[in-house]
């Protein structure tokens, strides 16, 4: 699994999340209330909007365009029938935060760099 550095712990002292672009896809780096982190796809499954634009922390995110709601921890859409958001591996080494280049969900094979 290839990882890329996306941030550091210092950057998250004042924020709950950050959106980065990996392989052309939006990925949200989320800091939980307990200080741990996870990474999840941040493109809405409806029409691809950045669904963390109005996010202010917690497990739920509401897309600003048409209000599809997601549980960020599970990736499940809460108010529409939709495939879940993809998950990314996240690791912390020293002060640096790294995320896997590709998602870890079962359909990751469809997201090769050539696709």
Residues near ligand FES (CB under 6 A): 44, 46-47, 49, 51, 63, 65-66, 68
Give me the residues paired with residue 7 across strands. Answer: 97
Write down the least CB distance from residue 49 to ligand FES, Å.
Answer: 4
Write down the least CB distance from residue 9 to ligand FES, Å.
Answer: 30
Write down the least CB distance from residue 79 to ligand FES, Å.
Answer: 10
Separation between Cα atoms, residue 13 and residue 60, nearest integer Å: 21
Residue with Cβ nearer ligand FES (36 or 83): 83
Residue with Cβ nearer ligand FES (6 or 42): 42
| Tokens 């809460």, located at residue | 78
Residue with Cβ nearer ligand FES (21 or 66): 66
Listed residue (79, 88, 83) closest to 37, CA to CA = 88
The two tokens of residue 79 are 């108010």
Query: Alpha helix locations (H) across the chain?
Result: none
């Amino acid at each position: 699994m290839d990882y890329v550095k996306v941030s550091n712990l210092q950057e998250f002292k004042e924020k709950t999340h950050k959106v980065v672009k990996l392989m052309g896809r939006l990925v949200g780096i989320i800091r939980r209330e307990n200080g741990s982190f996870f990474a999840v796809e941040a493109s809405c499954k409806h029409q691809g909007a950045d669904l963390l634009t109005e996010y202010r922390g917690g497990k739920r995110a509401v897309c600003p365009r048409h209000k599809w709601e997601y549980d960020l921890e599970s990736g499940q859409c809460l108010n529409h029938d939709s495939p879940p958001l993809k998950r990314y591996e996240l690791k912390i080494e020293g002060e640096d935060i790294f995320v896997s280049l590709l998602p870890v969900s079962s359909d990751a094979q469809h997201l090769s760099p050539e696709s």
